[in-house]
Chain A
Amino acid sequence: MKINAIIDIFPQLLKGLGVTVTVLIASALIAYFMAFIAGLCRLSNNIIIRKITGFYVEVFRGTSLIVQLFWLFYAIPMLFGIQLGSNWWTGVIAIGLNYGAYLSEVVRGSIQSVAKGQTEAAIALNMSRFQRMRIIIFPQAVRMMLPEFGNYTIQMLKGTALVSLIGLKDVLYYGDIMRSTNLSQAPLIYLLVLVFYFILALPLIWLTRKGESISRKGVASG
């Protein structure tokens, strides 16, 4: 009986897999991109660039993802008079900008935490400012960032469940549909939805642990 129900439910949820995964990948790419842009801008010597980036980071870190999602959902067509073509873009932009703000702090912090002696040694070898960043600071900082990038990617996966609230047909959306037609099946349906997300999270958990061991190895006090 239960087995039959699982066999019924799983293929239904599978229909939402494409949306969940594409939203995750696209928003992660935006988030990583924003993280490096904003993280580096906050270390800029130019105070105006620093202030503008700081505003972006604090606004997105200071409010909720769900509020940002709804706000963008209504604001983008109203304020700019454009339709993005689909809510898919709204979801991707909201999640990407939100986690880009969080990750930019990771980028900034990692770069700042590369020991001062590393810069001094690079100067003593007559490296230019750009070479110091490219050859010495950045490779070490990126190693340090890996675990946090992994953790935040798992957070992003969790965040993608919100896009069902703006009508995207993701895994949770199909779960909700099934529940609304078969209330007594709700426990099994939501349990399976959770299992579904967990299966998607497993490779990310594995990558995060991998990143932890790389970051431990890569940056010892040299």
Chain B
Amino acid sequence: MNSTYWSWDTFSEALPIVLKGLGITVGLTITSFLFALIFGFVWTFLRRIRNKPLNWIITWVMEFIRSTPPLVQLFFIYYAWPMIPGIGVTLSPFTSAVIGLGIHFSTYIGEIYRSGIEAVDKGQWEAAKALNFSTVDKWRRIILPQALPPTIPMLGNYFIIMFKEVPLASTIGVAGILLMANTYGAQNWAYLEPLTIVGIIFLLLSYPSAILIKKLEIKMNTRFDKKATLENTKKGAVM
């Protein structure tokens, strides 16, 4: 690499400055992920409403949120929300980002919950009914404890996906690593080094996490498919 384009001095000068934003980036990831985890339940239960037109509306609202750019949704919450007469309030960049990214990804997470619930054996619902569980107890003690654990690897994947979407919040002024890098770049007219640092940080954090989740997934699969595997071995032993 040509030294006029790349300077290790700049690199080492920018490194601590960019790293200052890491706490915010990770903090925003965790907060908005938690928000999405909770809000995901709202979608899951809204979609269980039996009323046809209502169900149709909810389905398309979810579709609307997930197929439009999260960047525009951030702008909407940060710039437009305060301007709405009556209900509008000014939100800090961080809060806006938590709500914006949280709602966007909650539509995906709601679908993950749904797939988990649908995977619970039909007999479990019937058993809960036969044992006369109340609706709350049925969900809390029978359905969710079986539906949620298998979704953990998928949720973990969304945690990583959200981590990579968090730098969008730099556009509304959340001082994570990307904003730090861009600010440094603007002050010193040297963007390449700080942006490279940002890339390396993302790679260093997301790649090992992805491998970890893959391992978790394999572990989970063997745990939850144990029944099926047992049956297969039995079949094989017959002949």
A75 & B199 in contact (Cβ 8 Å cutoff): no
Which listed segment binds B: A36-44, A57-65, A121-129, A133-141? A57-65
Looking at the assembled complex, report how far the CB atom of B64 sits from the nearest CB atom of chain A, in whole angstroms.
5
- A74–B67 touching, CB < 8 Å: no
A198: contacting residue among B64, B79, B198, B210, CB under 8 A: B64
- Asked whether B69 is an interface residue with its Cβ less than 8 Å from the other chain, the reply is yes
Check A194 for interface membership: any CB of B closer than 8 A: yes
Q: Taking the complex as formed, is B117 at the interface, i.e. its CB lies under 8 A from any CB of chain A? A: no
Question: Is there a chain B Cβ closer than 8 Å to A142's Cβ?
Answer: no
Query: Taking the complex as formed, is A66 at the interface, i.e. its CB lies under 8 A from any CB of chain B?
Result: yes
Determine whether B136 belongs to the interface, using a CB cutoff of 8 Å to chain A.
no
Name, among B5, B75, B84, B182, the residue most crowded by chain A CB atoms within 10 Å (CB to CB): B75
Are A187 and B68 in contact, CB atoms less than 8 angstroms apart?
no
Contact of A67 with B195 in the complex, beta carbons under 8 Å: yes
Q: For residues 65 through 90 of chain B, which have their beta carbon under 8 Å from a beta carbon of chain A?
A: 67-73, 75-76, 79-81, 83-84, 88
Given A75-B192, A78-B5, A158-B69, check contact A64 B83 (CB 8 Å). no
Rounded to whole Å, the gap between the CB of A19 and the closest CB of chain B is: 14
Per-residue B-contact encoding for A23-59, CB less than 8 Å = 1, 0 else: 0000000000000000000000000000000000011
Assess whether B219 is interfacial by the CB under 8 Å rule.
no
Instruction: List residues of chain A with CB within 8 A of the CB of B182.
Output: 70
B26: min CB distance to chain A, Å: 14
> Which residue from chain A places its CB closest to the CB of B202 in the assembled complex?
A63
Q: How far is the CA of A71 from the CA of B178 in the complex (A)?
A: 11
Contacting residues, chain A, for B223 (C-beta < 8 A): none
Nearest residue in B to A73 (C-beta to C-beta)?
A: B191
Cβ of B167 within 8 Å of any chain A Cβ, yes or no, is yes
A162 CB-CB contact with B under 8 Å: yes
Q: How many interface residues does chain A have, given as a range? A: 35 or more
* A187-B84 in contact (CB<8A): yes
Residue in contact with A201 in the complex, picked from B67, B73, B164, B206, CB distance below 8 Å: B67
Chain A positions within 8 Å of B67 at CB level: 154, 157-158, 197-198, 201, 204-205
Task: List chain B residues, Cβ under 8 A from A179.
Answer: 75, 79-80
Contact B195 A158 (CB under 8 A): no
Secondary structure at chain B's binding surface: helix, strand, loop or mixed?
Answer: helix
For residue A7, CB closer than 8 A to chain B, the reply is no
**Is the pair B207, A58 in contact by a Cβ cutoff of 8 Å?**
yes
Task: Please report the C-alpha to C-alpha distance between residue A68 and residue B200 in the assembled complex, in whole angstroms.
Answer: 11
Whether A189 is near chain B, meaning CB under 8 Å from some CB there, is: yes
When the two chains form their complex, are residues A187 and B81 in contact, meaning their CB atoms are under 8 A apart?
Answer: yes
Cβ of A191 < 8 Å from any Cβ of B? Answer: yes
| In the complex with contacts A63-B202, A66-B178, A154-B67, A190-B72 CB distance below 8 A | yes
Q: Please give, as numbers and ranges, the residues of chain A lying within 8 Å of B12 by CB-CB distance.
A: none
CB-based contact B73/A70 at 8 Å:
no
CB-contacts of A51-99 with B (<8 A): 58-59, 61-68, 70-71, 74-75, 78-79
Q: Are A165 and B171 CB-contacts (below 8 A) given A71-B196, A187-B83, A189-B80?
A: yes
Contact indicator B79/A197 (Cβ below 8 Å) = no
Query: Do residues A161 and B72 form an inter-chain contact, with CB atoms below 8 A?
Result: yes
B199 and A74 form a contact (CB under 8 A): no
A25 to B170 Cα, complex, angstroms: 27
Q: Is the CB of B68 within 8 A of A198?
A: yes
B165 on the A face (CB < 8 A): yes
Write out the residue numbers on chain B whose beta carbons fall within 8 Å of the beta carbon of A58: 203, 207
Distance A157 CA – B198 CA, assembled complex (angstroms): 24
Q: Are A70 and B195 in contact (CB under 8 A)?
A: yes
Contact (Cβ within 8 A) A64 B167: yes
In the complex the two chains form, is A186's CB within 8 Å of B165's CB?
Answer: no
Which of A154, A159, A194 has a CB less than 8 Å from the CB of B73? A194
Which 10 A-B residue pairings sit nearest by Cβ, starting from the closest? A161-B69, A201-B67, A186-B80, A74-B191, A187-B80, A190-B76, A63-B202, A158-B69, A62-B203, A64-B164
Residues of A with Cβ closer than 8 Å to B?
58-59, 61-68, 70-71, 74-75, 78-79, 154, 157-162, 165, 172, 175-176, 179, 183-187, 189-191, 193-194, 197-198, 201, 204-205
- A-B contacts, 19 listed (Cβ < 8 Å): A62-B210, A63-B198, A63-B203, A64-B166, A64-B167, A66-B170, A71-B195, A74-B191, A157-B69, A158-B70, A158-B71, A161-B71, A179-B75, A186-B83, A190-B76, A191-B76, A194-B68, A194-B72, A205-B67
